[in-house]
Amino acid sequence: MMIQDKKNDRCTHTTLSKIAAIIFIVALFLSAVVFKVEAAPINYAIGLYTGVAPSVGNDLQSYRQYYEYGSQSGVEGINRTQDGYDTKNIDTLLGLGWGISFKVLLFEHYQIRLAANYVRGMWGGEGITLYGGTPNILECDYSFRMYDVPLTFGISIPFWKDVKISFNCGAAFAYGWYQNRFTENSTTTYKGKFAGRGYPLVILLEAEYFFTDKIAATSSLSYYRGTTPLIEDDYDDDGNVDYARVDFTGYRFSLGAVYYFVSI
């Protein structure tokens, strides 16, 4: 069963191809470690960061929203207003995230980066809208959280003495939880709860400004693209069966600090 064509377009890469990409990057990582024994110039760094994720969970689409409430794009298309009805706009979720990274820098310009991240929707995702021809009142509430472990490979380019800019790409193992709740006319409530894993593709652009030869401030922009397969919801006590994908697609903006074990 499919929610809509747009959702399927986000899954053009198969799970096997994503796993193959991860295996390839792991092989590069292991090769780099082995190559160090032969005398490759190598450095290590550990970093901490925090940031925001606009529209975390993407559009939070589900079967019920599409077929029962007429939203073609999940939370982004469910808002409706009409004179004489008290509604409240439902915004996409704004997420807050934290993470830790470990990098291996080879020959000063090539790097392998392994990280662990946690992101949770903190703002938005609730309000009141209308549905049906009458119309009827619909109260909506969404929540989303996830963790992921991205492994990426890229290049690091120094600018002047104190700045480095790096570009990385790879894939991540991600696991997420998505929940929705719809209350019709303040009487009947339908809930959906979905959890699953995926292997989103990851692109990362990062800048570092060095205060010393080992410590730098960092800022980064990352993009994830990928979803789980279609999942049936875990609630079975409301007489409703809903389907959705846990969607990891979206941007993240982060600020943090990094420590290099060898002077840059």
pLDDT at 79: 94
Domains in the chain, number: 1
Lowest mean pLDDT among 28-37, 118-127, 193-202, 214-223: 28-37
The pLDDT confidence band at residue 149, using thresholds 50, 70 and 90, is very high
pLDDT given for residue 50 in this prediction: 98
**pLDDT over threshold 90, residue 240:** no
For 86, other C-beta atoms within 10 Å of its C-beta total: 7
Predicted local distance difference test score (pLDDT) of residue 134: 84
Residue 49: predicted pLDDT: 98
What are the tens digits of pLDDT across the range 4-41? 444 444 444 455 455 555 555 555 555 555 554 444 58
DSSP 163-210: EEEEEEEEEEEEEEEEEEEEEETTTEEEEEEEEEEE--EEEEEEEEEE
Distance separating alpha carbons of residues 41 and 48, to the nearest angstrom: 24
What gap in Å lies between CA 63 and CA 110, rounded to an integer? 44
Torsions phi, psi for 91 (to 5 deg): -90, 155
- Residue 246 structure tokens: 């846990």
pLDDT at 20 (0 to 100): 56
Q: How confident is the model at residue 263 (pLDDT cuts 50, 70, 90)?
A: confident
For the chain, give the mean pLDDT: 87
Per DSSP, the chain holds a count of helices (H) and strands (E) of 3, 12
Task: Supply 164's token pair.
Answer: 């480095």
Question: Can you tell me whether residue 67 is helix, strand or coil?
Answer: helix
What is the average pLDDT across 109-114? 95
Which CATH number does the domain housing residue 245 bear? 2.40.160.20
Provide the whole-model pTM. 0.83
Average pLDDT over residues 143-166: 95
Q: Which two tokens stand for residue 74?
A: 């999940």
| 193 vs 32 pLDDT, higher one | 193
Confirm if 224 and 3 have CB atoms less than 8 A apart: no
Range of the structural domain that residue 80 is part of: 5-260
Q: Is the peptide bond before 41 cis (omega within 30 degrees of 0)?
A: no
The confidence score (pLDDT) of residue 33 equals 53
Residue-level pLDDT at 101 = 98
Q: Residues of the chain with pLDDT > 70: what percent? A: 83
What pLDDT shows up at residue 29?
57
Q: What is the model's pLDDT at position 97?
A: 98
pLDDT of residue 28: 58
The CA distance from 196 to 185, in Å, is: 31
| pLDDT over 90 at 55, yes or no | yes
Query: With 90 as the cut, is the pLDDT of residue 46 above it?
Result: yes
pLDDT of residue 154: 96
Query: What confidence category does residue 92 fall into, taking pLDDT thresholds of 50, 70 and 90?
Result: very high
pLDDT of residue 112: 96
pLDDT at 11: 45
